[in-house]
Structure 1
């Protein structure tokens, strides 16, 4: 395969456009949009979970928001906001939605691994988010290749 422009195969891929989604369409772009909608649902549940912690829903007297450490409060408010914003962007299949979601997911992985005093280390969260990131990259690359063909 000869490429006179010098660009590698990744640089030749165009981004998948949200308006390319049609319910009757079969292919990688359709799978990508379905994945984004599922990820939006997960992000919404995570955001609502963090907002429940902020509001003290289901918390005992010693577990209310004000009784927690400042790093816990800061991280909880951050994830409460970023997860819900990401959910909207993912549902709309907007490019910024994936960026916000990736930012929140990578940040949660970093908090879980490198700052265990905030939430503790929950490997199911780390592995689950890592698998979702890998799945997103797979679907996005396959959809971009399909669109370029």
Structure 2
């Protein structure tokens, strides 16, 4: 079938914009803000997952990045390599399972920051950003819930 035949059949065109989100922007602004916030967090989680992938495979130029690494560091990196991208997909889709995985990963980030050796760079920054994002999520979800009731 050609594109012209699809138009004649009355099929809707493919658009990168979600029409439901555009309608919700006016009718339910806090719900729309929550979805946009979750998508922003999804991008952050994806980047964080890629950073952990880079640490795990030794993107810094080390021929053997796992040589001399602590077991706790390896376990934490492996957890974040898997959890962060999965959470990013769920957050982008604004699903409840995405939020749950994100919260578990954020709690893991906080636990890792509190217990990791001092040589782990940027661990407190990521933990503080995670805390701030959790606070913003709680605020936005409470406002969106009031909007629905």
| TM band (smaller chain) | 0.7 to 0.9
Q: Are the structure 2 counterparts of residues 99 and 140 from structure 1 closer, same or farther at C-alpha, using a change threshold of 3 Å?
A: same
Q: Are the structure 2 counterparts of residues 117 and 21 from structure 1 closer, same or farther at C-alpha, using a change threshold of 3 Å?
A: farther
Q: Is residue 2:46 matched to residue 1:44?
A: yes
Question: For each residue in 1:92-118, what CA deviation from the matched residue of structure 2 results, as whole angstroms up to 9, or x when unmatched?
Answer: 0011000000100011011101x1327
Tell which deviates more after alignment, 118-127 or 32-41. 118-127
Structure 2: 5+ residue runs without aligned partners? 1-17
Q: Quick check: 1:54–1:76 contact (8 Å CA) kept in 2?
A: yes
Question: How many residues align structurally?
Answer: 128
Equivalent in the alignment of 2:11? none
TM-score by length of 2: 0.77
Structure 1: 5+ residue runs without aligned partners? 1-18
Q: Which one scores higher on RCO, CA 8 angstroms, separation ≥ 6?
A: 1
Q: How does 1:24-103 map to 2 (within 5 A)?
A: 24=23, 25-26=25-26, 27-61=29-63, 64-103=65-104
TM-score by length of 1: 0.77
Q: Higher helix proportion, which one?
A: 2
